[in-house]
Structure formats: C-alpha cells, structure tokens
C-alpha cells in the first residue's frame, strides 16, 4: 500500500474513520447535535477528498488514468463521479435525519453510525472490481440498512419492515453468492476485468457461466426492486423511517447501479441473446407492474415505492442500448432520479410527526393552503418523476429514449412512452390533492415545526432539479467524459 493508493482511497478512508469517531463520541458524549456535526464533517471531508483522489489520476496521456488498488478495488473517474453523487445524497439524508429524529422520543445517535457504515458500504461498491469486494461492500451496506429500517422501535411497522428486508435480502445475497461461485467454477477468475477478458474472447457461453450470471442478476434485481423481485419494497418503504427510505431510494440504488454498469457493460450483453432477453423481460415487467400497482395507491410512500420499480425499468432501456450514450443516459437518469426522490422524501420527512410518518394521501390534501412552498416543492418533485418539461426528470427520460432509439430498441422505447403516460395519472392525482380547498380536505394536516436546515436542504435540491432541467449540458458532457472508459 503506497501513498498514491492511500490518496486514491481517501473518500473510503475518511468515511471509515468518521464511523469510528462517531462510535467513540456516542460512547462518551451522547449529544444529538454533536453526532450530527461529526457525521456531516466526515461526509464533507470525504467529498472534498475526491479532488485529491482525482489529482492522483490525472495523466498526461489521457484526461483520466485508472488505478488498480489490489485486485479488489479500481479507482477511476467513473468511481469518483459516482462517489461524489453518493456523498452529496448522503449529506442530504443526514440533514433530513436531524430534525426527523429530534421529533422522535428515544435514542437517536446510533442512527448516524449506521448511516455512515451503510454509506461506507455503498461507496466501496462503486470502487469494487472483484466479487469479494462486491459482496463484502454490499453486505456492509445491507446489514446497516436492516437496523436503519427498524430503528424506530415504537412503531410496529418499522420492525415488520426491518424483518422483511432482512429475510428477503439474505435470500438475494445467497443467490448472488451462488452465482459468483458458478462463474468462478467455470472461468477461474473473480475480477470484473478478468471476466470481461473472457467475454472479449467469446468464452461466456458456458452453461455454468450463464446460470451464474442469471443468479447474479437475480441478486442485483432484488436490490434494485425489479419485478418479480420487488414485492418487498412497498412494505419496507412504508414501514421504514423517512430518512432510511430516502437513503435506500438514492444512495443504495445508486451504488448498485454503479456496480451494474461496471460489471455488465464490458460484457457487451447486447451480443448475448439470453442476457438480453432476461434484462428486457425485467425492464418490461418492472415498467408495467410498477405503474399499474401505483394507480390506486392511497399511501404516498407506497406510491413512491411502486414508482421506483417503474423508474428502474425505464433505466434498463438505456442499459440495454449500446454505445457511449447508453452509459451516459443511465448515469444522468440515475442522478436525476436521486435528486428527485431525495426531494420527495425530504418533504415526507419534514411533514412527519413524532407518532407516525406523513404517509396517507389524506395527510397531503389541502397542503398548499397551509404551507404553499412545501406543497410547491413536492409538486415539482412529482412532476419531475413524471418526466414533465423544465425538470431534470424530463431530460433524464429524453436521454433514455434517445439511447434506446439509437440502438433500435423500438419495443422498449414505445413501452417506456406508454408507461410514462400511465405514471402521469397517479403523480397528478397527488398534485391535485395538494391543491384541494381546505373544505374538501378530509384530514387537515398539522405541519410540525422543522428546522431551517430542512428548509435550506429542500430549497437547494429544488434549485438543482430545476437548474439541471433547464441547463443540463454541463452534467451531460461531464458524464460523457467520465463513463467513456467504463
């Protein structure tokens, strides 16, 4: 381990050290605001350290070099870009957790330790280049999420959601591990680059390898909540505390998408009919099942859960395309989705009281008459999820359609358009409820007092969402420059 390697891995190292510092601080000084400050300081330091890590990669021969840190980790501009996105999302989750946990009676400091450990696992996933680091990082993130989901022990729904995620996630991990074993048994390698070399040589057609890849896809599909491995997500989203749900929907999914791109793009699955068909089925089923089940939902968190199923189906349309626009569209759409879903769950967290989360649709009826700016922010988030113009969600869906059309995936492109129209119905149903007259509101909502930190965080996310919807060029060009080497 050289100094160069240490600087390249600074974001991981800082997150790990922050988790240790927070654990010791909890043992000696149980003060909520101190733990929040230490958590944010560690996350911001890790974010700042990306510049040092990027400086290590700068090379005269190319804009960005790559650095192999042991066989397990791979540091390149792709990893640093995703790490930056995950850290920003994690900082937002920490800010939303502050006032949310203050409203709940009980011990709240350990939540931030779990958050840091889950964040560390998600970041390690982005750097993974080997089955061993992939599995260890995924389990570090997942085990921390089990406790985050069930953290508010006074609510039976939290315990139920934690147990469901624990059992089903363990089964998915077993599929994933068995799939890795089959691939290793057939090819004799466990590194992503080694498997890609076999793919370039045309040796991925073995039955053991195909079955192993199918099992790996099964495990990844569970983490992304793709149909038919998605029926846990509505119960878990509804039962988990709003900040934990925001972390699952943004940071956790972003990390798994990074691994999906890192592992499968070099395999050129477009030239493997079994894998192409499998991913196409997952995309089509996720788009339709997610949208159709969301149509009659009366719970906002469950509606957002079904929405996430359909959005992951949309993302697969570009993932199945070929060329640099495929990875660009996937990455931009993912970042757009992370911004939007963080904004949506930030509003849910801000409205949630000490007894329960603001989950029922009736909790939001007439909100515009009581808290206009909060209703406007939630409306913008929902319209971005629907993919309407002037929002970052519209640019994300446009890039998905463009990538799919370039690769002549016409069936998937048409189905994406059809499902976007279906999704527009249930998003607008919530927006209409927000602006109903108070006399039409069956359950007037009492907005709890929340800190100025919530206000600043929600305002910042809203501005970024609208700015990227109007001026997406900078981010698109950055992503194109970065993902070209994946």
Question: For the segment 395-436, what is each residue's pLDDT rounded down to a tens digit?
Answer: 999 999 999 888 888 999 999 999 999 999 999 999 998 888
Euclidean distance between the first and the last CA atom of the chain, given in angstroms as a whole number: 24
DSSP letter for 442, please: S
Least confident residue range of 94-108, 233-247, 323-337, 340-354: 94-108
CA dihedral 267, 285, 326, 257 (to 10 degrees): -70
pTM of the model: 0.93
Least confident residue range of 75-89, 255-269, 351-365: 351-365
Cβ(427)–Cβ(433) under 8 Å? Answer: no
pLDDT of residue 454: 82
pLDDT at residue 381 greater than cutoff 90: yes
Residue spans of the domains in the chain: they are 282-486
pLDDT at residue 60 greater than cutoff 50: no
- The percent of residues in the chain predicted with pLDDT above 90, rounded, is 47
Gap between the Cα atoms of 182 and 366, Å rounded: 55
Strand partners, 67: 75
pLDDT digits (tens, 9 = 90+) for 103-147: 776 778 889 999 999 999 999 999 999 999 999 999 999 999 999
Ordered alpha helix ranges (H), 201-272: 207-224, 233-239, 242-247, 253-264
pLDDT of residue 449: 59
pLDDT at residue 97 greater than cutoff 50: yes
**Across 231-237, average pLDDT:** 89
Among the ranges 27-36, 49-58, 63-72, 129-138, which has the highest mean pLDDT value?
129-138
Convert 18-32 to b/e letters by CB count within 10 Å (16 or more is b): bbebbbebbeeeeee
Gap between the Cα atoms of 325 and 186, Å rounded: 32
Q: Which of 230, 234, 292 is nearest to 418 (CA)?
A: 292
Helices 300-319 & 410-434, crossing angle to 10 degrees? 160
Helices 452-470 & 392-406, crossing angle to 10 degrees? 40
């Amino acid at each position: 381990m050289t100094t160069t390697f240490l600087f390249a891995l600074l974001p991981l190292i800082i997150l790990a050290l922050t988790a240790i510092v927070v654990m010791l601080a909890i043992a000696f000084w149980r003060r909520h605001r101190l733990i929040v400050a230490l958590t944010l300081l560690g996350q911001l330091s890790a974010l700042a350290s990306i510049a040092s890590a990027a400086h290590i990669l700068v090379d005269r021969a190319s804009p960005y070099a790559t650095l192999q840190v042991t066989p397990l980790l791979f540091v390149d501009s792709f990893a640093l870009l995703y790490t930056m996105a995950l850290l920003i999302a994690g900082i937002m989750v920490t800010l939303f957790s502050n006032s949310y946990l203050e409203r709940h009676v009980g011990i709240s400091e350990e939540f931030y330790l779990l958050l840091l450990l889950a964040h560390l696992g998600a970041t390690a996933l982005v750097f993974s280049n080997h089955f061993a680091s992939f599995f260890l990082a995924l389990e570090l993130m997942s085990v921390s999420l089990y406790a985050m989901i069930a953290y508010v022990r006074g609510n039976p729904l939290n315990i139920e959601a934690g147990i469901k995620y624990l059992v089903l996630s363990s089964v998915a991990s077993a599929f994933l591990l068995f799939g890795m074993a089959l691939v290793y048994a057939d090819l004799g390698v466990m590194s992503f680059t080694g498997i890609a070399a076999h793919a370039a040589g045309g040796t991925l057609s073995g039955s053991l390898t195909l079955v192993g890849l199918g099992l790996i896809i099964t495990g990844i599909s569970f983490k992304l909540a793709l149909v038919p491995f998605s029926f846990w997500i509505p119960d878990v989203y509804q039962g988990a505390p709003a900040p934990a749900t925001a972390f699952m929907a943004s940071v956790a999914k972003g990390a798994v998408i990074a691994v999906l791109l890192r592992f499968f793009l070099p395999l050129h699955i477009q030239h493997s009919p079994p894998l192409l068909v499998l991913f196409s089925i997952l995309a089509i089923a996720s788009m339709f099942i997610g949208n159709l089940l969301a149509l009659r939902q009366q719970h906002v968190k469950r509606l957002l859960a079904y929405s996430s199923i359909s959005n992951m189906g949309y993302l697969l349309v570009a993932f199945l395309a070929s060329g640099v626009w495929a990875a660009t569209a996937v990455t931009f759409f993912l970042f757009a989705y992370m911004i939007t879903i963080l904004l949506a769950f930030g509003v849910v967290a801000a409205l949630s009281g000490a007894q329960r989360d603001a989950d029922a649709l009736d909790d939001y009826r007439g909100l515009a008459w009581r808290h206009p700016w909060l209703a406007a922010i939630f409306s913008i988030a929902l319209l971005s999820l629907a993919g309407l113009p002037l929002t970052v969600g519209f640019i994300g869906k446009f890039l998905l359609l463009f990538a799919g059309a370039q690769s002549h995936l016409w069936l998937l492109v048409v189905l994406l358009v059809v499902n976007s129209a279906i999704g527009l119905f249930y998003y607008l149903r919530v927006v209409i409820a927000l602006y109903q007259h108070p006399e039409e509101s069956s359950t007037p909502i009492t907005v709890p007092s929340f800190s100025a930190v919530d206000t600043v965080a929600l305002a910042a996310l809203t501005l970024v969402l609208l700015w990227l919807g109007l001026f997406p060029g900078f981010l698109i060009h950055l992503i194109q420059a970065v993902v070209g080497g994946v």
